[in-house]
Amino acid sequence: MAHNIVMPALEMAQENGKLLAWRKKEGEAIAKGEPLLEIETDKAVVEIESPAEGILAGVKAHVGDVIPVGQTIAWIVMPGEKPPAETQPSASGRRMETKASPSSPPAAVKSSAEPSSSTARISPKARRLAKEHGIDLNGVRGTGSEGEILAEDILALVASPGSAKGTPASGALETMSSIARLMAERTTQSWTSVPHFFVVREADAGALIEAREKLGSAIEKAQGVRVTQTDLLVALAARVLVKHPRLNASWTGQGIRLNLEMNIGVAMAVNDGVVAAVIPGAQAKNLGEIAALRHDLTERARAGKLRPADISGATFTISNLGMYKVDAFSAIINPPQAAILAVGRITDRVVPVDGKPGIRPMMTMTLSSDHRVVDGARAATFLNDLADAIQDPGKWLG
């Protein structure tokens, strides 16, 4: 039985996706779950796996094509089987946008960042960097296994003394990647259309540090993954959100949707900007499971190998800039979510302790909320409960 491959929808507002690469050629066999293609959305470069075992056939999309969500781009068929004839327009009702002229047949769009004849493998990050810096991949010798071109190879070329692709000249316009450009558009849209308000709360992080040392040591020994402060915050925030459903809700335009699962998005810095990888059902996961999943998501985000499910469905987001020595900041909400938590670094401060001056490790949290969904009292109560959980994590994580 033939299986159609369609351009997936990775978020509610997505309309199109750009095809970056096919991992298989038409006529080649592929196993279920094997990497099939890479697409670029406004959030990340995502690797799509094959939904079935069979032969890749009926390829309708080419590298560089911008394709509407829901449109069939290829088929997986059984040996000897032919792909179904296309008798109706795609479900999206829109034609594929390509860089070819309307009168010419569909063809792969080639650029200086896409080798036309080289058979060398190229990592997604290396491809993006080469495109941004205008480097012809045909002249690059990869240092990875089997000659794969890695991001480090591109960065080395950019930094080389003889390279003309180094620091932009004064006054030059820096070219933005599509991810960075669309991220700028989305944050502008959120800031100008969502009624943000902010609540700030300091919390004594002494118990949080102790919990990380105590619990983290056992988890690292058993699972080989290091527990971070972000992991603890994800676990605690998810459990506190159970008591505060409005903070985990979504604005739909017609009203407020209360989400049953606490799917926590974790903001991660990548070369092109920021992606929010999702830890689904975090309220039901233990700290070790959260740490392992967050570590895996971080590695794949940096390598440009996030899957569609990794960046979709978040109901609440945490952005932690403590590792960059930031004391406090305000974050922009990711619609349709109702809130995002911005976390600063833990630093020693003089605060009242039993009526006397004392030095305690303090952390500043700033909650950005959508006033259509959350009022000030709800935001303050949630933040106070989260601060209490940070000061007694064992009560919530035991």
Contact 69, 9 (CB under 8 A): yes
DSSP state for residue 322 in the 8-state scheme: G
Q: How far apart are the first and last CA of the chain?
A: 49
Per the DSSP assignment, residues forming a β-bridge with 80 are none
Distance between CA atoms of residues 176 and 45, nearest Å: 15
DSSP state for residue 280 in the 8-state scheme: T
Contact 54, 45 (CB under 8 A): no
Structure tokens at 389: 């959980």
Q: Which helix (H) or strand (E) holds 352?
A: strand 339-353
Return the C-alpha torsion angle 145, 151, 152, 155, nearest 10.
150
Q: Catalytic residues, which ones?
A: 371, 375
Q: Give helix 376-391 / helix 206-223 axis angle, nearest 10°.
A: 60
- Three-state secondary structure call for residue 327: coil
Which residues in 181-198 are b (16+ Cβ under 10 Å) and which e? ebbeebbeebeeebebee
Residues 6+ positions from 175 with CB-CB distance below 8 Å: 132
Half-sphere exposure of 295 (CA within 13 A, CB side): 15
DSSP per position, 108-126:
----TTS-SS----B-HHH
